Structure 1
Amino acid sequence: MWQRAIARPPEKMTFSSFVDEWREKYARSELGYKTLENYLIQINNRLIPEFGHLRMDQIKPLHIVTFLKELQEEGNRQDGVDGKLSSATIQYIHRVLKNILKRAVVWKVIKTSPMEGIKKPKVDQVEMGVYDETEAHMLLLALETEPLMWRVMIKLALTTGLRRGELLGLEWKHIELGDGFGTIDVCQSLNHVKDIGYLIKEPKTKKSIRKVSIPSSLIPELRTLKKQSNKARIQAEELWKEGQHFFVFSATNGKPLYPAMVNKWWPSFIERHNLKYIRFHDLRYTSATLLINKGGHAKIISERLGHSNISTTMNVYGHTLRSADQEAAKHFNSLFDPNQHKKA
């Protein structure tokens, strides 16, 4: 790069050329595999078509502001679905572009970033899809006709609030099944990266490494699934592809399930049983909401979910917590009701 720069100043590089340098000299070593994969999706689909032909010194704040504004208009989705891009996606594109231009400043390709002074796009608060207690009960009834592996996965998602990656990264050595009790050590998460395969890493934050109690009613099914898994492992013999790991949720050869398999199975299951549609991740929200409505302490719920701090729990579930608090206050009404204190 710098030899070429002798003939052509760095700021004369096109955005597309600089992205190549950014990817090889920074992103591959500094970003996680999954993060880089997601960055490259937005770079190739959005940023290169918009800025790729421009020299680095030609990219101006107004150009970026106009680009972000246009992303908010109808018809900018690229998945064949009608409607607008989500505000979260637009904010993510802003984040990727800011990262690249910041590196250009550090490497003195440009003096200042054209992103300076441009506000980060706001993310509209999307109402969470959750099941109430009745709908959760309907879900459990529907699961009774499903294969044991899927039945256990969904029940764990509902009752523990584990993230999808945490569930898929779960190994039998992480589950303790005692007499009438059970716990899960949440210490790793699984992602799948194109051209690399699955990756196991620590969960999102230090607080995400946690121990979560399992409802006693789930213990028998977990024991049965473990027996089935052990039997499948023995029968597979040399076809078993995993010697180091023994995943709770796996294919017949021991390989962990692809996250895409969960994303495909879940909506199909919802449709087959005519249940209200929520995302798989919304089972995590449902778990927290059911606990809140049952009077669960916010700190305990925060620890079960693996939030970095309790303020995260309050921000995400603030409305539900306030509603539960208002219901709790109603219990004091009887204290002020004279009819409740009349002597017989």
Structure 2
Amino acid sequence: MGSIQKRGANSWRLTVELGYDAQGKRIQEKKTVRIEDETILRAPGRLKKHLQDELKKFQFEIEAGSYMKPERMTFAAFVEQWINKFVRVDLEEKTQDNYVYHTERRIVPYFGHMHMEQIKTLHVQDYFEYLRSPAARNDGKKQPLGSATLVYNYRVLKSIFSKAREWKVIKDNPMEGVSKPREDDKKEMEVYDEKEIARLFEGLEGEPQHLRVLIMIAVITGLRRGELAGLEWKHIDLENGTLEVKQTIPKFKDGVPVIKGPKNKKSVRKIALSPNLVHELQEYRKEWRKLRLQVEDRWQGGEHEFLFCKLDGKPDDPQRLTKRWIEFHRRHGLKPIRLHDLRHTSVSWLIFKKVHSEAIARRVGHSNTKMMEIYGHIFESVDKAAAAAFDDIVVPFKRKEAN
């Protein structure tokens, strides 16, 4: 049993009756809801139904034991709700892991005991001062945390308190007035130049076929690590020399690959392959099929035929691809860069070769705006070189005028 009572211009109090205590006193739970939507406020029928729905939902939460008054809710209790109702529902797998990691690592241990309404902007400012001290480290090192860690903590806290405000748990967002920390130690992307790319391909000549194909695809197509891990033979058209990016494996969870399809049609992209890469893929396909036939009933890949997989058909963990790359560049004395930097190398090389930016963006799955954000400095240097090319015409012409 419950009731609805108007409290203000656009606020109502919901009351749920829970019987009587041992002294005969009525037990009630109350909650105030505000309605900002003018279309609901102007329609009495819709307004009545909306309030009744809110009352039913409130009553269900109480009976299920999931309702907690905002003023009684600790930060730790809210974070649990935030993870279950937002992080695990709306975010990508890797982002989920990162958000949970940072909340459990430092944020909850610091704020967990506090009630949500008690946390003010000054408390958040104090937290970032704490992060800038060696005391925030968990590894015993004496230097302060990197600025990238501070930025990620800022992002997570902003998400937590934004949801708390949206869900009416707090009235004011304590993140308002907190500036985003400067990320002054951000790792710059590294790429191979022409000589280093040549050395890389020289090193590949004596390597196993699967490793040659892995690194060649990474350099020539600019695929991300998860896209490499999720690549199957059905995505490759050797006759027409194209490859389609249709899925990704960002990580393994409990030993099982997390296979993610495209977010939308735009995220599926077709990439042209070079003749040399097509030839390598044709040879690798023959070798792959022989191994597949040898496995017979031990095959555990199901209908999937991943290019980079274990002998039983299960895909390689993305971290295993990184390990193979590290072992390769160390073996050949190449400059140590990340596997993801082969993607940057691919794009940088195309820019230097003056391939149109829209064509590059389509190839690597970026918008032109994103391309300029990441590779703007390279575009600028190429643009300056292009402008200087006119001196071949202008300088002789000026000399002629002077004479």
Give yes or no for TM over 0.5: yes
**1:8-41, Cα deviation, whole Å (9 max, x unpaired):** 7322222112222222333332333332222111
Q: What SS is found at the alignment partner of 1:277?
A: coil
| Alignment partner, residue 196 of structure 2 | 135
| Alignment partner, residue 314 of structure 1 | 372
Write the distance in 2 (CA, Å) between the matches of 1:80 and 1:293.
Answer: 45
Alignment of 1:30 onto 2:90: yes
Q: 1:154 aligns with which of 201, 215, 219?
A: 215
**C-alpha deviation, 1:303, in angstroms:** 1.1
**C-alpha deviation, 1:267, in angstroms:** 2.0
Write the distance in 1 (CA, Å) between the matches of 2:241 and 2:84.
Answer: 46
Cα 1:187–1:65 change in 2 (3 A) is same
Cα 1:143–1:74 change in 2 (3 A) is farther
Alignment of 1:64 onto 2:124: yes
| Alignment partner, residue 336 of structure 2 | 277
Write the distance in 2 (CA, Å) between the matches of 1:162 and 1:82.
Answer: 38
**C-alpha deviation, 1:196, in angstroms:** 6.5
| Alignment partner, residue 184 of structure 1 | 243
Cα 1:142–1:297 change in 2 (3 A) is same
Write the distance in 1 (CA, Å) between the matches of 2:163 and 2:392.
Answer: 63
Q: Once structures 1 and 2 are overlaid, which stretch shifts more, 147-156 or 33-42? A: 33-42
5+ residue gaps, structure 1: none
Write the distance in 2 (CA, Å) between the matches of 1:169 and 1:80.
Answer: 38
| Alignment partner, residue 248 of structure 1 | 307
**1:203-238, Cα deviation, whole Å (9 max, x unpaired):** 577544211111111112101111122222221112
Write the distance in 1 (CA, Å) between the matches of 2:137 and 2:204.
Answer: 34
Write the distance in 2 (CA, Å) between the matches of 1:117 and 1:209.
Answer: 40
Amino acid at match of 2:310: A
Matches within 5 A, 1:7-22: 9-22=69-82
CA RMSD of aligned residues (A): 2.6
Write the distance in 2 (CA, Å) between the matches of 1:257 and 1:82.
Answer: 37
Q: 8 Å contact 1:34–1:192 — kept in the other structure?
A: yes
Give the TM-score normalised by the residue count of structure 1: 0.89
Q: Once structures 1 and 2 are overlaid, which stretch shifts more, 125-134 or 298-307? A: 125-134
Cα 1:62–1:25 change in 2 (3 A) is same
Q: What SS is found at the alignment partner of 1:190?
A: coil
Structure with higher RCO (Cα < 8 A, 6+ apart): 1
Q: 2:324 aligns with which of 265, 282, 287?
A: 265
Write the distance in 2 (CA, Å) between the matches of 1:224 and 1:84.
Answer: 51
| Alignment partner, residue 89 of structure 1 | 149
**1:43-101, Cα deviation, whole Å (9 max, x unpaired):** 11121111112121222211212222433445755568885544333222222222222
Q: What SS is found at the alignment partner of 2:249?
A: strand
Max radius of gyration: which structure?
2
Q: 8 Å contact 1:184–1:212 — kept in the other structure?
A: yes
Write the distance in 1 (CA, Å) between the matches of 2:153 and 2:332.
Answer: 37
Q: 1:216 aligns with which of 245, 266, 275?
A: 275
Amino acid at match of 2:374: V
Percent of residue pairs identical: 45
5+ residue gaps, structure 2: 1-60
Alignment of 1:103 onto 2:143: no
Write the distance in 1 (CA, Å) between the matches of 2:206 and 2:140.
Answer: 34
| Alignment partner, residue 170 of structure 1 | 231
**C-alpha deviation, 1:168, in angstroms:** 0.9
Q: What SS is found at the alignment partner of 2:270?
A: strand
Cα 1:46–1:68 change in 2 (3 A) is same
Q: What SS is found at the alignment partner of 1:189?
A: coil
Matches within 5 A, 1:223-242: 223-242=282-301
Cα 1:261–1:137 change in 2 (3 A) is same
Q: 8 Å contact 1:37–1:194 — kept in the other structure?
A: no
**C-alpha deviation, 1:286, in angstroms:** 0.5
Write the distance in 2 (CA, Å) between the matches of 1:264 and 1:239.
Answer: 26
Q: What SS is found at the alignment partner of 1:212?
A: strand
| Alignment partner, residue 287 of structure 1 | 346
Alignment of 1:145 onto 2:194: no
Amino acid at match of 2:376: G
Write the distance in 2 (CA, Å) between the matches of 1:145 and 1:212.
Answer: 27
Give the TM-score normalised by the residue count of structure 2: 0.77
Q: 8 Å contact 1:210–1:304 — kept in the other structure?
A: yes
